[in-house]
């Protein structure tokens, strides 16, 4: 290890730039939630648990605007598929 390092051309800030349309935040989630999403990524063989959480939140928001009839039809289809 050197005694002195030259940081005169160093830059402050994040090492990896945040993509446009994304925001870096700090959020506290239950360990069981994070473990579940990480397990999903591991089971799939690749991916990013944070992207899965983002997709789950996006899907939830999309379903809030879903009409009741469409929700019922979707749930019935899912349950019938499971039963067969």
- CA dist., res. 24 & res. 17, Å (int): 10
- CA dist., res. 75 & res. 78, Å (int): 5
| pTM (predicted TM-score) | 0.61
pLDDT tens profile 18-71: 788 988 889 999 999 999 999 999 999 988 999 999 999 999 998 888 888 988
In the chain, domain spans: 31-83
What is residue 50's predicted lDDT score, i.e. its pLDDT? Answer: 94
| DSSP string for 39-53 | HHHHHHTS--HHHHH
Q: Tell which residue, 1, 2, 54, has the closest CA to residue 29.
A: 54
- CA dist., res. 62 & res. 22, Å (int): 18
What is residue 63's predicted lDDT score, i.e. its pLDDT? Answer: 85
């Amino acid at each position: 290890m050197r005694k002195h390092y030259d940081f005169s051309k160093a830059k402050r800030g994040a090492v990896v730039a945040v993509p446009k349309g994304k925001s870096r935040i700090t959020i506290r989630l239950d360990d069981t939630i994070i473990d579940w999403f990480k397990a999903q990524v591991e089971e799939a063989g690749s991916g990013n648990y944070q992207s899965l959480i983002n997709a789950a939140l996006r899907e939830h928001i999309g379903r809030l605007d879903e009409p009741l009839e469409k929700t019922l039809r979707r749930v019935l289809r899912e349950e019938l598929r499971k039963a067969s």
